[in-house]
Structure 1
Amino acid sequence: MAQNQQLSFNAQDQININSSQSSALSAINTSLQRANELSIQSGNPLADSNIIQQELDGISEQVNAIADEVLGQNNFLSGLDASDPAATQTILENASTLINQNNASLGASSNALSSQVLSYEAAIVNTSASRSRIEDTDFAKQTSEQQKTEVLLQSAILTKQNEEERKGLLFNQLV
């Protein structure tokens, strides 16, 4: 039972880790969407490409910091260029696909772990119920044995008293 409990705790811990990573991936996805908007704006000849490039650089740094922590890739997003919107959108699309695949994998893993947790918890409940029934049976058997012993003891005492009374009557008749 303790082993199933520990397995359940471990699986729940991994689910929590997956959830944290999934949240980080969602933050990356939000940043990628903003970068995509900026790349579209950079195609406008009236847009200030320097300001757009500064924001793309900031997004790239932010995404890379999160990707380093979650995916172990410190250069996950590079080559964002406000002067080449088509290339930037291709980079963003590839990055988004990779993030979505990782997020799907984490979701599948969490679902499998949730199923395992339910199995472990069912095993804990079933083991506890079985142990309780065994203990109840043992208690009932012990109680029955104790009552039998008490009845035999009382019977022996009564028999001894009857014997003593007969001896006393016999003694009185002899005297």
Structure 2
Amino acid sequence: MHETIRGLYQGVFDPLAWQRSLFALCRFSDSTQASLLIVDAGRHTVLARHTVHGVAGDPSQWSRSPGLISGLPAAGSLPVGSWHIDRRELPVPVSARYPLDGRALEEPPPASVMACLVDRQSSHEVYLAFQRPASEVVFSEDDARKLDWAIPHLREAMALRERMHGVAA
């Protein structure tokens, strides 16, 4: 836990430390993917600022799942620091099997998505999101509570990073 927190703050200067901390959170939550997402509801866009995978393999072969996007709550509906758990039942509708570029996914979308609203600005919301595939146990409220300790540190590290970029600009 302490190494993960340290990595978040070191990530202000070193993006690899940030990635290692997200990877540790991914493993700690028994997730296959952890992402820091920027959601712009006005433009209807989702930007994955950072994504790590907790499974072995070549990262270039992992597809970006639209299930993560559909598993997020509606803009403004979640208080900052709160968790949203999306437990979908399979089969997933055909429309959810295609990423934004229109190509069919080779793997099924996740059966469970868990996301915490880390920060809300007037122009966007920032989520820490985790995924598990259909073959794994769906997320529960206990899974979210086990990660609550990381959210204030993530929020502070993001604020420090923004200030640093502002000073550098």
Larger Rg: 1
TM-score w.r.t. length of structure 2:
0.26
Greater relative contact order structure (CA < 8 Å, 6+ sep)? 1
Which one has the bigger strand percentage? 2
